[in-house]
Amino acid sequence: MMRQPAASWKTAILLLLLSLFVAFVAARDFRVMNAPDVFAPAEGFARKMLSEYFPPLKGTTADTPVFIREGKEPGGTVLILGGTHPVESAGILAATLFLENASVPRGRLIVIPNANAMALTHNSPQEGHPQRIHFALKDGSTRVFRYGSRATNFTDEWPFPEIYVHPASGQKLSGKERSNLNRCYPGVPDGSMTERLAFAIVELIRKEKVDLAFDLHEASPEYPVVNAIVAHERSMELAAIVTMELEGLGIPIRLEPSPKNLRGLSHREWGDSTDVLPILMETGNPSQGRLRGRTDERLVLTGEDKAYVKAAALGRLFIPYEGNQLIAYRVARHVTAIRVFVENLEMVRPGKGVTLEGIPQYEEILKQGVEAFLKPVPKKREV
Amino acid sequence: MSWIWPEGLYAAVMIGAFAAGAFRLKLPIAIAMSAAAVIGALLGGEGIPIRHLVEGAFGYIDTILIIASAMIYMKALQKTGLLESLAAFVIRKFRNSPLWLSFGLTGIVMIPGMITGSSTAAVLTAGALVAPVMMRLNVPADRAGALIAMAAIYGMIAPPVNIPAMIIGGGIDMPYVGFAGPLLACTLPLAAYSAVTLVYPYLRASGGGGEQLEQELRRMEKVPLSARLLLPVWVLVVLMAGEQFFPDVWPALGLPVDFVLAALSALASGSRFDPLEAATEAVRDSLPVMGILMGVGMFIQIMTLIGVQGFVVVSALALPSFLIYLAIATTVPLFGAISAFGAASILGVPFVLALLGKNTIVVTAAVSLIAGLGDLMPPTALAGIFAAQVIGEDNYFVVLRRCLVPGLVTAVWGIILILGANGVAAVLY
Amino acid sequence: MTFVYRLLVLVILALVIRCMFRERDFWKQATAALVVVPLVLRLLMIK
């Protein structure tokens, strides 16, 4: 029989109201991330949805736009996937540059700029990441891209298992990896949302008979697989040619074989379950690293960070770091590597070559910035 | 632009604000931590970033559900009278073989930690069972609490489930396979050491207790131990083991639901109690820890936002190479003051990367062991706080003081395993 | 399973609020208020 002093009730109500107010303010901020990014595809791209390859995805948060450009002359099919991990902005932007600039005289180009749309609608706790990055275009308008999370939004598949057992192999990973698209391949048609998404992407590769597929990533500068190509054994010959050619262009890049015992990743499972030549590429992105200092939009765009300068001096990094990792540099690496891969496709798949035109050159991107190759979009919202 | 400025100042102010709030103004730790986060954000020029503060707290939403539901389960066990009668049973069985009794008690505490990967779950379930046993057998409360805390941490690190190792593995793309041997090498010797040094001398000296103990035992057996009374234990064991060993067919209920279902089954175990009151009491008891985790989440998010995280991590990496082992043994547990899992993620990953020349699995296992010590580091000190709670001690520093020596031994053992990682691997594989 | 977990969040949220109203120490009430925020947002599946 505790006697409640009157003040206690009042303060409890007051504090509860305060909690609800804070929750309301936070909720408004969180929900802004639900508005999709807008793209301005180059002429000739048809817009489909991923659910057309796997209908159960229709109407779910996993569904995402797929842009297809069919060339006049028949040839092979190339797929570019950005946004597997939306914290790796150079992947999304490189895919966008192809989507907004490419013309395709021969073969077909498929671009999925936001592969895991469910990971774009939130930021991971305790990362302190910005919600968006901005680019000022020449005509005075601004292009906005969301900076999301590595993992699918909690609200799309909660709770997590304690341990994620990769269905195809029985491999055990931390439970949260079930929300990592690049651990869920080849996917499960009735699995978790992320497993279904992975399944849909593999369905697309199969149904569109994709010859060469890119999964664009970025990695922390302190992570060994960075500035790298990871290739399935089937893609190895082509990747070796490309690596040499990139060296010649002054773009040193590591070539790593896809480990056979690390399952669920695109470079392993796409190759094992379809006929495609899978390629995963990494650039160095300080804004996702664990050594990073102040975390904000500026860090994403410039990669300037004194903590990384010090870490580089200590020999802790796997990239040459001289004070920055500009977004233009990271995007230019991806764009150029893809261009060189596509130019050499005919050599390993006779009759399946693809010709891409209108793709900005390495030096052009470095000099003029990513923004020079983004197109203005109709203004949808104020941010 | 110097290295220390301004992040060093931010770090000092955030930690100072926390210490001032907690120790000078005597605010609850949760409030002091949140206030320090807000002050850090203001100082870093971020205003009061409500989105970041709330987002940071979300890092522990699943942990607080586990804590609340585990506490509800423990209250249910208490209210049915099971805890006391089970303790009496174990004392009668083993009172004459003290060495086995000390190993057995340690092992009992480790098991739920091994299965759940959570030291909190180990302390609150098995720890709560063995605490009264040890105290009836004249083990001083602080030593009983220390053994429970240490065993819970070893359980959390022992296979099959070790969340810090999974977190580090996730950070370097290493699957969680092949860890059983190294993790047993990490934990079993230490568990035996703790049992022998912390409680064995007292169990031996107690000589099985006298008439007073006998009276006590009869009182404890007021609710007779029966298969029906044990129902909530069976239900929990089946639910946890099913999910662990048959993940393909067993529904993935998760720990919170396991605990709640097992707690509900206590209603069918023959004893009467008010479930609403029991659950409210459970939540009331766990609110301080849940609040601390919310504060810690905010604190980490702001640290990361204003650059203090990179400052701390790179400063640790900048130590001369002969000091890196010392750095692992000190910074990782110290960071555990904020969170053991956070330490695995923020410091564990860079340290493992810095030691890539050695067998990565053994190094990761050993770093996870040292990260586990973070659960003894105040203010969060989850293992210490709950161990104090199960021995009925208000001041958890009483338990932590007793953990000092085994904690140091643990850190040294972890470093020895890292130094000899390749040798350990050669023996194990 | 998501529904079951939301139910669990609802129950714990209700218990936290119950404790908050029974508590006589202001700072302990404030600790409970801290825990309320993420529980409300997860209950509504906003975050």
- Look up residue B64 and give its two tokens: 């607080």
Tokens standing for residue B418 = 């890292």
Give the C-alpha separation, B125 to B112, whole Å.
7
Q: Of C30, C40, C47, which is closest to A155 when you measure between CB atoms? A: C47
User: A171 vs B177: CB contact, 8 Å cut-off?
Assistant: yes
Name the 3-class secondary structure at A214: strand
3-state secondary structure of B90: helix
Q: Which two tokens stand for residue B280?
A: 């409210």
Nearest 5 degrees, angle CA B125-CA B128-CA B132? 155
State mean pLDDT over A294-302: 98
Rounded Cα–Cα distance for residues B406 and B404 (Å): 6
User: How far C11 CA lies from chain A's nearest CA (Å)?
Assistant: 16
For residue B6, what is the DSSP state?
Answer: T
The model carries a pTM of 0.89
User: Which residues in chain C are closer than 8 Å to A12, comparing Cβ atoms?
Assistant: 20-21, 23, 29
As a whole number of angstroms, the distance between CA B38 and CA B56 comes to 12
CB B14 within 8 A of CB B311: no
Reported as a pLDDT band with limits 50, 70 and 90, residue A286 is very high
A89, two tokens: 């902005």
Which of chain B's residues have a Cβ under 8 Å away from the Cβ of A310?
3, 314, 318
pLDDT number for residue B208: 63
Flag if A12 and C30 touch (Cβ within 8 Å).
no
The C-alpha atoms of residue B153 and residue B191 are separated, in whole angstroms, by: 9
Amino acid A142 reads T
Residue A6 pLDDT > 60, yes or no? no
> Can you tell me the mean pLDDT for C13-25?
95
Q: Which of C15, C28, C47 sits opposite B280 (nearest CB)?
A: C15
Closest partner CB to C2 (pick from A4, A11, A158) = A158
Segment A232-251, tens digit of pLDDT: 999 999 999 999 999 999 99
Per-position DSSP letters for B263-313, written without gaps between them: HHHGGGSS----HHHHHHHHHHHHHHHHHHHHHHHHHHHHHHHTTHHHHHH
Contact B287 C18 (CB under 8 A): no
The answer to whether residues B43 and B186 touch, using CB atoms and an 8 Å cutoff, is no
Check CB contact under 8 Å for B310 and A128.
Answer: no
Comparing A5 with A137, the larger pLDDT belongs to A137
Q: What amino acid occupies position B164? A: P
Average pLDDT, integer, range A324-344: 98
pLDDT at B296: 84
Chain centroid to CA B31: how far?
22
- What is the reported pLDDT for A4? 42
CB–CB contacts below 8 A, B to C: 83
The residue extents of the domains of chain C are 2-43
Q: What is the pLDDT of residue A282?
A: 98
- Number of Cβ within a 10 Å radius of residue B214: 12
Judged against a pLDDT cut of 60, whether residue A5 lies above it is answered with: no
ipTM: 0.97
Which two structure tokens, joined as six digits, stand for A263? 């399952």
Interface probe, candidates B66, B284, B292, chain C, greatest C C-beta count within 10 A: B284
Provide, for chain C, the percentages of residues in helix, strand and coil under a 3-state DSSP scheme, each rounded to the nearest 5: 85, 0, 15
CA distance B286 to A255: 51
> CB of A314 within 8 Å of any CB in chain C?
no
Least Cα separation, residue B56 to chain A (angstroms): 5
| Model confidence at A381: pLDDT above 60 | no
A326 has pLDDT over 60: yes
Query: What pLDDT sits at residue A50?
Result: 98
| Cα–Cα distance, B282 to B279 (Å, whole number) | 5
How high is the pLDDT of residue A382? 43
A132: which strand partners? A146
The domain spans of chain B are 7-428
Cβ neighbourhood burial of B126 (10 Å; 0-12, 13-18, 19+): buried
**Gap between the Cα atoms of A58 and B167, Å rounded:** 33
Structure tokens at A21: 């107010």
Q: Do A154 and C17 make contact, defined as CB atoms within 8 angstroms?
A: no
Cα distance between residue B321 and residue A178, in whole Å: 36
> What are the angstrom distances between the C-alpha of B170 and each of A327, A381, B310?
26, 37, 19
Give the span between the Cα atoms of A143 and A161, in whole angstroms.
38
Please identify which residue in the block is written with the tokens 């092992």: B107
B contacts of C18 (beta carbons < 8 Å): 280, 283
Nearest to B62 among A159, A292, A306 (CB): A159
- CATH code for the domain defined by A38-373: 3.40.630
- pLDDT of the residue at B336: 84
- The residues, ordered by sequence, that sit 6+ positions from A263 with a Cβ below 8 Å of its Cβ are A166, A168, A169, A171, A269, B175
Residues A176-192 pLDDT 10s: 899 999 999 999 999 99
- Strand A355-357 and strand A45-49: the pairing is unpaired
A123 three-class SS: coil
Positive/negative CA dihedral, B414, B416, B419, B425: negative
Per DSSP, what are the bridge partners of residue A216? Answer: A281
What does the block give as tokens for C46?
Answer: 């906003």
Say yes or no to pLDDT of A358 above 90: yes
Which residue shows structure tokens 């990971």? A119
Ramachandran region, residue B209 (left: φ > 0; alpha: ψ -120 to 50; beta: rest): left
Average pLDDT value for residue range C18-26: 93
**Series of mean pLDDT values for 10-residue runs along chain B (429 residues):** 90 90 85 95 97 94 87 86 81 85 91 84 87 88 97 94 84 80 96 97 80 79 87 90 80 88 93 93 87 88 94 86 87 84 83 86 96 90 92 93 97 96 90
> Can you give the residue ranges of every domain in chain A?
38-373
Residue A3: the pLDDT is 42
pLDDT at A128: 96
pLDDT of residue A380: 58
Shortest CA gap A313–chain C (Å): 39
Query: What pLDDT is recorded for position B18?
Result: 87
Q: Which residue of A has its CA nearest to C41?
A: A23
Tell whether A12 is within 8 A of chain B (Cβ).
no
